[in-house]
Amino acid sequence: MKILSNTSLKPYHTFGIDVSANTLIEAYSASDFTQIWQDYASVPKLIVGEGSNLLFCEDFAGVVVLNRIKGIEVEETASHWHLHVAGGENWHELVSWTVEQGMAGLENLALIPGLVGSAPIQNIGAYGVEVNERCDYVDVLMLETGEVVRMGAGACEFGYRDSIFKRELKEKAIIVAVGLSLPKVWVPVTGYGALADLNALSELTAKDVFEKVCEIRREKLPDPALVGNAGSFFKNPVVTKSVAEKIEASFGECPSYAINDDEVKLAAGWLIDQSGLKGYCVGGAAVHEKQALVLVNLGDATAADVVMLAQHVVDTVYRRYGVKLEHEVRFMAKDAETSLEALCQH
């Protein structure tokens, strides 16, 4: 492991807010994590991959641990490729590599920032595919026992941008590896948004889907290396069909996706856009001009700017549509995770 003290966290989270941590440690194995939890038993700890889904609201008065566990193993059966991927591998690089190797199935999830170990926590998804559909198991280090346990996909209790790792196992387990299963008989998923254009191709390939997803995301989403952001800031809200019908009757057709007979997922970006918030600024933070679902750091934003902007977005959308947005980005206070609601109550 590698230890740094009083370190700026600006390079370690994509929002680029200038905050610091008392201690920063790079962990290269499960045993490193175990040692850190023993050595810093009474100190707040936070595991960070690439910091692509974090907003540090103030300096972190504890230990930030960077997951640097690497490695990819592949086993082939008659019907599937089975991948065992270490938690510290970059997610997009994994997707790109599988496509290059002719292993289809992850292409819809291209250019999602973060590490492999973060993917099951959030149950990342895009363009009609979620990671739980490709997940066989998750290997987790149980912090109380120091034992690495393999959890089947069913035990992970995946939901929309949700899993057991955000609830019962939060701060109790660390994801050290993920098992993915990619079927050799490829069924393209191209019914979502602009991907439908690909259906006109006579010989569609996974690489075609991969490149189209990358094109769309690069066109709509700002590059964190150039403009600080944490990707989609809000979850797409799930409402009853009656609520969706009322919105459509009052405001015209709203992009939506039926989840079941009673519930519909609305496009949060559309709700924010139609509320006239694209480009709206608070201090150095702004709603992105091309993709309203993204809040950006224009260069000198403070955490307070982002918090105030996020609350303004939530309040404006609620007043207009009666739908309350929830943030997908994690908010970190000085010693623990918090929420927009909690911050705005102070």
Q: Which residues are catalytic?
A: 161, 232, 328
Report the SS3 class of residue 250: helix
Encoding tokens for residue 120? 């099951």
Determine the Cα–Cα distance for residues 277 and 281; give it in Å rounded to an integer.
Answer: 9
Q: Widest CA span of the chain, in angstroms?
A: 60
Determine the Cα–Cα distance for residues 208 and 42; give it in Å rounded to an integer.
Answer: 50
- Residue that has been written with the tokens 């230890």 in this structure: 3
Encoding tokens for residue 340? 């927009």
Q: DSSP for 197-231, please give it.
A: GGGG-SS--HHHHHHHHHHHHHHHS--TTTSEEEE
Report the SS3 class of residue 30: helix
Where does residue 320 rank: exposed (0-12), middle (13-18), buried (19+ CB within 10 A)?
A: middle
Contact assessment for residue 108 and residue 128, using Cβ atoms and an 8 Å cutoff? yes
Residue 278 Rama label (left phi>0; alpha psi -120 to 50; beta): beta
Q: How many CB atoms are located within 10 Å of the residue 153 CB?
A: 19
Q: What is the DSSP letter of 166?
A: G
The distance from CA 110 to its chain's CA centroid, rounded to whole angstroms, is: 12
Q: What is the DSSP letter of 41?
A: T
